[in-house]
Every structure is written in structure tokens, then in C-alpha cells.
Amino acid sequence: MTLLTLYRRLVLLALGLTAFVVVFGAYVRLSDAGLGCPDWPGCYGKLSPAHAADQILDAHEADPHGPVSLPKAWKEMIHRYLAAGLGLIIVAIALLAGRLRRDPQVAPLVAWLLVGVVVFQGLLGKWTVTLLLKPAIVTAHLLGGLTTLALLAWLALRAVGVDRLQAAGAGGIAPRLYIAARTALVLLFVQIALGGWTSTNYAALACTDFPTCHGSLWPDADYANAFHVVRELGMTADGELLSNSALTAIHWSHRVGALLIGALLLVLGATLMRRRGTEQLGVALVAALVLQLSLGIANVWLSLPLGLAAAHNAGAALLVALMVAINYRLAATPARTRQRLVALAG
């Protein structure tokens, strides 16, 4: 096996594992197991819940409805084991990328950037536990996972030799389409941040009807307290309990954001479907968008069943991967295209 083949396989393995870790992490949080082991990196200072069974059982007996139990501890620790394994694979990818730095299918700078993201992601995982599920930390942890996924998707596309389209003209890309795809990717991350904020503040069922919220298209909402970043879970910045109207503001903002970014992605998908070379990506984007919107609506109508809620996170990961693939395909780099982009930006 050549080093390039090993590098390619590790990138694809890491991509698949990252997608699983992101979805499994959402499952752990949604099943109220995020504090199943209240310390980090071990469980009550031990390597596994089996070694800490006595402490876990004592904590569960003291508070049977609390966050600590043996099943929850195993969920949390399995997530940590998977994340640690992923981190080691990513370090190996970066080391191989350094060895293969002259190969056009390898991007050493991106690989080492990914290592930095994963190190910070590990710190966010620690703070998620030690700072008791602060919404800002948990939301940042979700975004870090999806950033890892996006960078690995980019590395995978390059590693397997996916072609980019030619410069503008003769069936190539139009600069406006390139800019629209980049903008859509950025706004998709903003929308995912809103979704993470909704989930981590337990506001997913603040509105239980659809398409209205509390029977209104303009529900009573407290936006002033909804988006304070530095605060405890369930509290305002002043230490008061977060009101239902603040939770409504969080939920409704996510819905409005879904409407706006959904419209943009739909137009982008339809445009790609009409262009030679991007038809399949356009179809995939529209299909993934419809699926994600359907999952979001179903979560409201069915009162957030665990499986559908985790699937909604998987849908977000799929959209991120697709948008990275679209941007990669559209990222033609000849000088003429760069000059036109600069002219448009100016």
C-alpha cells in the first residue's frame, strides 16, 4: 500500500467517523446523557463506567432523576472514546500530508488546520461537562464538529481526485454562482448555530404547532433575553429563570432562519440542476433540503422523538457535506475567474 493510498483511506475513514460522532453526540445530549460522567476525561477519574460503577450507582441513588446513571455514563464515555480515536486518525492524516506535501491530491495546511480545530473541539468537549452544559459551549461544540466534517469533506474530495469545473465561459461557472454557493455555506452554518442554540436551550418545543407558533405568525417573544451568550443553562444573564417567551424567541428565530436559508438553497439547487456538470449535486441538494425541512416539521408535530431529533442533526451534517462538495466543484482557480470575482466584490 502506498502512502497516498493510506492517506486517502484515513481521510475517508475520518470523514465517516466524524459524521457518526456528530450524530451520536446529538443523541447523547438529547437523551440527557451529556453529564452521565460529571468529570473529564475519565468517569469519576476512572477509565470507564465499569471501573466507576460504585460512584455512578451512589450518584444515581442520591438523585434517581438526575443526569448520572450507568447507561448514561456509557453513552457519554463511548462518545469520548470515538472522539479520541478520531483525533488520533486526524493527527495521522496531518503527518502523512506532511510526507506527501508535493502531491496535488494532498493539502498539508488544511490537514494541520484540522488538527487545530480538533484540539479546540476537545477543549470544548471538556468545558461542556465541567461548565455544566452552558448553551454557548454546547452550541460551539456542535459547530466545531461540523467544521471538522467540512474540512474532512474538502480533504476527501481532493484526495479522491474530484475534478473542479473550468473557469467562466464555455459551460464553466459564472462568478455569481460561485459567490452564491460560498454565501449559502456561510449562512447554513449560521442557521445550524440557531438550531444548536434552540436545542441546547431546550427550546425545540417552545412552539408546538406549525406553521404558526401559539396560533400566531408573530408570537409574543422575548428576544432581549433569548440571545445572551454568556449565561447558565435555563437562566438569563441576570440569573433569572429564562421565560417561555424567551424560549419562543429562540425557536421562532430558528424557524424564520430555516425559511430564508431554505429558499436560498432551493434556488441554488435549481440553478445547479440546470447547469452541465452540476446536475446531480443540484438534485442531491434539493432532496437533502426537503428531507431536513420535513424532519424539522415532524419534530414539532410529533413532540421531538429522540430518533427524529438525532436524524435532524444528521440532516444538517448532510447539508454541510453537500455544500462543501458544491463549493469544491465550483472553485475554479484560473486567473481570469479570480479577476472577475475581485471585480464583482469591488
Point out the residues that are catalytic: 76
- How many Å apart are CA 190 and CA 142, to the nearest integer? 12
67 Cβ contact list (under 8 Å, min separation 6): 32, 33, 34, 35, 36, 38
Counts for the chain of helices (H) and strands (E), in that order: 11, 0
Nearest to residue 114, comparing CAs of 84, 78, 159, 144? 144
Determine the residue type at 50: A
- How many Å apart are CA 250 and CA 219, to the nearest integer? 11
Could you give the count of Cα atoms lying within 13 Å of 163 in the half-sphere of its Cβ?
Answer: 6
The grid coordinates of residue 305 equal: 422523538
- How many Å apart are CA 213 and CA 249, to the nearest integer? 10
Please check whether residue 189 is in contact with residue 143, taking contact to mean a CB–CB distance below 8 angstroms: yes
Q: How far is CA 62 from CA 206, 244, 268, in A?
A: 31, 30, 54
- How many Å apart are CA 213 and CA 99, to the nearest integer? 56
Please check whether residue 185 is in contact with residue 327, taking contact to mean a CB–CB distance below 8 angstroms: yes
Determine the residue type at 96: L
Cell numbers 467540512 label which residue? 150
Cell numbers 455544566 label which residue? 132
Q: How far is CA 51 from CA 32, 66, 74, 83, 84, in A?
A: 22, 20, 11, 20, 19
β-partners of residue 43 are 46
- How many Å apart are CA 297 and CA 317, to the nearest integer? 18
